Amino acid sequence: MICKLSNYIKPCEIETPLSSLFFVEFDRTMIYILVSLFHLSSAAVTLNCSPQDDFDLPVFMTSGDFTIGGIFPLHYRVELPPTDYIKRPLAAQCRGFDPRAFRWALSMKLAVEEINNRKDLLSNHTLSYRIFDSCSTPVTAQKAILAVLNGGDVVQSSMCSGAGPLLGLIGESGSSQSIVLSRTVQPFQIPMVPVSVCSNSCAPGFRTAARRGQPLCCFDCVPCESGKISNQTDSIDCMPCPEDYWSNANGTACVPKVVEFLSHDAMGITLTVIAVVGAFLTITVLMIFFYNRGTPIVRVNNSEISFFILMSLTLCFLCALVFIGKPTSWSCMLRHTAFSITFSLCISCILGKTLVVLAAFTATRPGNNIMKWLGPTQQRIIIFCCTLVQVIICTAWLVASPPFPYRNTKYKQSKIILDCSVGSDLAFWCVLGYIGLLACVCFFLAFLARKLPGNFNEAKYITFSMLIFCAVWLAFVPAYVSQPGKFTTAVEIFAILASSFGLLLCLFAPKCYIILLKPEKNTKQHLMGKVIK
């Protein structure tokens, strides 16, 4: 059948340029279709159209029981004769002798002869060879493979006769010619060496990407994308890793994702040390105030409130420690509630102290009895009520939608960010908003009282402390939104520590300076000097 098939293929030489890769893309299915059409038409139609003369390829051949085919580029190019459609043109001629390919052909010839000369290798059988020239072009290579299969002569017959059974084919070194040969012999399960590929194999961690306009065996090796792997050679596609896994550096295996949270690493230890130092300084100030509780500088404007502020500041420093470590259900609920309640208590105490300062100087006016409404009991009630509002908000938050540990795999696909979800965004911002409201009211009242007479007017220190407090938390909001992951937690801890240090230093550093370094100023006369004058 293939001897007749050569008649169909030869006319293509007239209209197909030599550089065409038509036969490179010639699918095996077309061979089956042409063979089937030949069977259907052989009884009624005899095709005897041959626009070129019989092809005459350089050939080495012998006869034997079994045949090994060989096709080598013995010449560099093919010269087609002019075609004027008036007379039958001559056959195509191969030009440019290649001695290297000729050496390959001789090596094959001598190897087959050596095998036949040794009786211990093939007893009672002989090998034959059929070696043809491809002329380094796909069209001539197609002719050559047909000649290897059934001989080079054109025979008008329903049966094909030629060489003995073809055991294998030693193919062309050129990629395009090799593809033509493999496509032709593949339907008949005839092995061929070398394998027709024009690209090296892709190692694990890469996938093949077909080159546009080129055969399927021509491809590029593309590294697998992050999160995908290929663990086989010449993988067509990369496999995605499971949700909790990520690709390694080579893209050959899926490894568990790194779980990221604010642990006791360098950053966590630094924040822990700062929080502990802040709590220690606050306790030290508390001890100094307790030891000097009878002095005027401590007793001014209700020393009890000062002790409340120092104790709440200690809790503010310590609550930062809850934010460090692996988040759990209890730690997530404790984080925001402890922080919000302790800060509300602290700001409520400062608000009570500010009201006392403002009322103390207002009460000097004739007929003003405001101080009887701001005694120690009333101050405790103000502090309790302001703190109770925050407690109610936190309780409703924990009951309705409490914070919980959250595994965030969307922000950084290569990591699992373990953090505390606030549960209810509305409750979270209500908590911060209430603390901000207390701070703003306190700042406004202290600002009104900043110029009241007295050598030690505590209102101006409260004004400055509230200014720092509000500035820190106003800067916290954009930083909190733009830094997800463990840096969000670090930003929140930094805001807690910075605002706590601001309150501690602004409110109590001037008093400690007088108590420890200027005891001569720790008198009632000095504190109220301007009023006496």
Compute the distance between CA of residue 429 and CA of residue 423 in angstroms, rounded to an integer: 11
Confidence at residue 32, expressed as pLDDT on a 0 to 100 scale = 45
Looking at residue 80, the DSSP 8-state letter turns out to be P
Compute the distance between CA of residue 135 and CA of residue 98 in angstroms, rounded to an integer: 9
- pTM for the whole structure: 0.58
Confidence at residue 423, expressed as pLDDT on a 0 to 100 scale = 87
Give the architecture-level CATH label for domain 2-193: 3-Layer(aba) Sandwich (3.40)
Confidence at residue 8, expressed as pLDDT on a 0 to 100 scale = 39
Cis preceding-peptide flag for 296 (omega within 30 of 0): no
Token reading at 394: 């936190």
Q: Give, rounded to a whole angstrom, the gap between the first and last alpha carbons of the chain.
A: 129
Confidence at residue 276, expressed as pLDDT on a 0 to 100 scale = 95
Residue 480 identity (one-letter amino acid): Y
Within 401-485, residue ranges assigned H as helices are: 425-448, 458-482
Confidence at residue 44, expressed as pLDDT on a 0 to 100 scale = 41
What is the CB neighbour count within 10 angstroms for residue 25?
15
From residue 147, give the alpha-carbon distance in Å to each of 2, 165, 206, 423. Answer: 9, 13, 40, 79
Residue 273 zone, left/alpha/beta (φ > 0; ψ -120 to 50; rest): alpha
CATH of domain 266-363+382-532: 1.20.1070.10
Compute the distance between CA of residue 134 and CA of residue 163 in angstroms, rounded to an integer: 19
Helix, strand or coil for residue 49?
A: coil
Confidence at residue 175, expressed as pLDDT on a 0 to 100 scale = 66
Domain boundaries, the chain: 2-193, 206-256, 266-363+382-532
Confidence at residue 229, expressed as pLDDT on a 0 to 100 scale = 92
3-state secondary structure 1-18: CHHHHHHHHCCHHHHCCC
Cis preceding-peptide flag for 165 (omega within 30 of 0): no
**Tens digit of pLDDT per residue, the chain (533 long)?**
444 444 434 433 333 333 333 344 444 444 444 444 444 444 444 444 454 545 566 678 888 888 888 888 888 888 877 766 676 777 778 888 888 888 888 888 898 888 888 888 877 888 888 888 888 888 888 888 888 887 655 555 555 555 457 888 887 767 677 778 878 887 888 887 765 557 777 889 999 888 887 766 678 899 999 889 998 888 888 999 988 899 998 899 999 988 888 777 888 899 999 999 999 999 999 999 899 888 888 877 678 888 999 999 999 999 989 888 888 889 888 988 898 999 999 999 988 888 877 776 665 555 555 656 667 788 888 889 999 999 999 999 999 999 998 888 777 778 888 888 888 889 988 998 999 899 999 888 888 877 766 555 677 888 888 899 888 888 887 877 776 666 788 888 888 999 999 999 988 998 898 888 888 887 777 666 544 44
Compute the distance between CA of residue 172 and CA of residue 71 in angstroms, rounded to an integer: 6
